[in-house]
Structure 1
Amino acid sequence: MRFGMRGLRNDHLSCCVNTLLQTFSATWELADLLVKWEAAAGMDSFNVPLQLKKVLVAMRGDSSHPAPHRDFLHCLDRNCIRLSFQHDADEVFLSILNLMQQQMDDKVLAVEIQNLYKISVETYLQCLECNCVQTHNSYLLSLPLHIKEDHNSLEDCMTSFFEHQELTGINRCFCPHCETKMPSRQGVRLSTLPRILCIHLKRFRNIQGFTRKLDCGVTFPETFDFSEISKEAFSADLKQSGGRYTLYAVVVHSGSSMCGHYTAYIRDRVNEHWHYADDSHVRQASWEEVQKTYGGDCRHTAYMLMYRRNTKEQGRQPEFSG
């Protein structure tokens, strides 16, 4: 049975968590994995994955009333994501994923959940004298993109992220072959593409000790293909083919760096209609409305973008039950 989208009451300044819960609910891959998990008996009420599973089940229930999520909020509070404080959505998102990794007793399933979002990257450092290359492998759970104080496009932001940098002068790096500090070229390449790509538009910037929000425009498409981004973005051993993604959720920040509010646009997986969730209030929206969050003329701006990699399975309807 298909249920409507369900709102969440704002409880102790919980708009940030409410918005992220809407994106988690729209990520049916995460819901499928959580429903597989049989938590050990006696697990306490401050276990983040257990409480997340419960609230996602509740969000699939009767859409005429806001979903109960107070236990989840108190669970986060006990895990140092405090109630009654304003939070950064990307920081809370990463904290929830990391707490799930730490607190699930089924470690294989915990890795599967993390792998949904895991962006494997290769950082390289090339000596400009002898061409010796040093590499380091790591991963990200969201892609942080720097934006300019001007007009930006998502494609341009990604291209800038993967452009190499020349390290000269006092920034020279040690080359093990030359056995001294040498001018170098540094960059990042993708080793794997995630199923769910979370993009963080870095709108908050510290300037002379003060945090300021950048409301400049950042355009983003409903679909994009990684193959159209700079070839420098890929390592030689990229393990996955097919880099076409479709947008399904947008986390929006309204206001300033000191006083703000989070809401979300969510795309229905069945009929592909957009909906707008502002805490307990949920209504139908349109792509044209989503585009108004590009920024530039208002402070109602996109802050996080959730894209799903296109696969042949996309039309499969998941089963989700308590």
Structure 2
Amino acid sequence: MSYRWSFFSLRLPTRLGMRGLPNCQLSCCVNTLLQTFSATWELADLLVKWEAAAGSGNVPLQLKRVLVAMRGDPSHPAPHRDFLNCLDRNCIRLGIQHDADEVFLSILNLMQQQMDDKDLSLEIQNMYKISVETYLQCLRCNSIQTQNSYLLSLPLHIKEDHNSLEDCMTSFFEHQELTDINCCFCPKCETKRPSRQGVRLRVLPHILCIYLKRFRNMRGSTRKLDCSVTFPETFDFSEIPKEAFSADFTQSDCRYTLYAVVVHSGNSVCGHYTAYVRDRVNKHWHYADDSHVQQASWEEVQKTYGGHGRGTAYMLMYRRNTKEEFSG
């Protein structure tokens, strides 16, 4: 647990579960993701095990150093400048506004590519990996083609009115009818036929990252959807329709608890990222806006559901409950 001096008192330390990170050349997006990575204590624990060779351009090595520093003495600045420079050398440029989900996926992929311990890098990726089965069913002969793949974040489409996370999840797993010019080739019929296409869950990860698709291209320009998307502190996948699961889905622990929220303020042209994260020990919420850190409440997190002129939730990080937490 780290300490940070209260803004209002230089004598009394305030116990907080987060450390602020100064904004360096439009780094709010990366700063916010570092807060979520720090709150993902499983990731930091795995990186600490890694005996990495020196390398200023090695993203997982620099990430390891930042996360260790963020756990340490607050009088020593966290070396996130080195991490930012490392990302810049890996084509995530400083001085440019970035999309948080794209940077998040880039960091995970760079860790997979640049770690020399492939077993450990696979363990990190598996922590986030959402295994899915895509299927294509011919509506004429009913033959089905399937393919297994994976996602590292779950992209959920939202409607331009009120949404709930449960509704967005249900919509994601609903099948689509492909007809007319969208007909697909059926190997059994040996011609294009109307088809039904969909996605089913095979394996749920330990850390579930959900990406709310708030940016939409319309008439050649991109705009942000500020509409409401409600989300719970605890989400149980067993409550969504059974059609969302593949035949070989066997997991019994499907209950998840929210521990981090990436918030976007502004519009598609000019925006700013902040984060809410939940303390591992006392379960209290904290808020980080670059170098400014303060305690928060669940009611404040709920204000990010949506609304014009408000910061809106953009990415949600859920952790699968352990059996002890689930039974408790």
Query: Shared fold by TM > 0.5?
Result: yes
Aligned to 1:126: 137
Q: Is the 8 A contact 1:196 1:306 kept in 2?
A: yes
In 1, Cα distance between the equivalents of 2:221 and 2:166?
29
Q: Is the 8 A contact 1:267 1:275 kept in 2?
A: yes
SS state at 2:145 partner:
strand
Aligned to 1:18: 31
Q: Is the 8 A contact 2:134 2:146 kept in 1?
A: yes
Spell out, residue by residue over 1:120-139, the C-alpha distance to the aligned partner (whole angstroms, 9 max, x if none): 11000011111100001110
Q: Is the 8 A contact 1:256 1:299 kept in 2?
A: no
In 2, Cα distance between the equivalents of 1:251 and 1:8?
15
Equivalent residues, number = 313
User: Does residue 170 of structure 2 align to residue 159 of structure 1?
Assistant: yes
Spell out, residue by residue over 1:261-311, the C-alpha distance to the aligned partner (whole angstroms, 9 max, x if none): 000000011111000000011000000000000002433100000000001
Give the Å deviation of 1:208: 1.2
SS state at 1:85 partner:
coil
Aligned to 1:318: none
- List aligned pairs for 1:41-190, cutoff 5 A: 43-63=54-74, 67-190=78-201
SS state at 2:262 partner:
strand
SS state at 2:85 partner:
helix
SS state at 1:102 partner:
helix
In the alignment, which of 213, 216, 239 is matched to residue 227 of structure 2? 216
Spell out, residue by residue over 1:22-66, the C-alpha distance to the aligned partner (whole angstroms, 9 max, x if none): 0000001101110110113xx311100000000000101123675
In 2, Cα distance between the equivalents of 1:10 and 1:202?
25
Cα RMSD (Å): 1.4
In 2, Cα distance between the equivalents of 1:231 and 1:210?
38
Which residues of structure 2 form unaligned runs of 5+?
A: 4-15
Give the Å deviation of 1:201: 0.2
What percent identity do the matched residue pairs reach? Answer: 84
In the alignment, which of 257, 266, 272 is matched to residue 255 of structure 1? 266
SS state at 1:73 partner:
helix
- Equivalent AA in structure 2 for residue 34 of structure 1: L
Q: Is the 8 A contact 2:275 2:289 kept in 1?
A: yes
Q: Is the 8 A contact 1:45 1:75 kept in 2?
A: yes
Give the Å deviation of 1:237: 0.5
Aligned to 2:19: 6
Aligned to 2:13: none
SS state at 1:134 partner:
strand
Q: Is the 8 A contact 1:7 1:65 kept in 2?
A: no
Spell out, residue by residue over 1:235-260, the C-alpha distance to the aligned partner (whole angstroms, 9 max, x if none): 00014221100000000000011000
In 2, Cα distance between the equivalents of 1:39 and 1:68?
17
Give the Å deviation of 1:113: 0.3
TM-score (norm 1): 0.94
User: Does residue 57 of structure 2 align to residue 37 of structure 1?
Assistant: no
**Structure 1 runs (4+) greater than 4 angstroms displaced:** none
TM-score (norm 2): 0.93
- Equivalent AA in structure 2 for residue 18 of structure 1: N
Aligned to 2:286: 275
| Change beyond 3 A, Cα 1:7–1:314 | farther
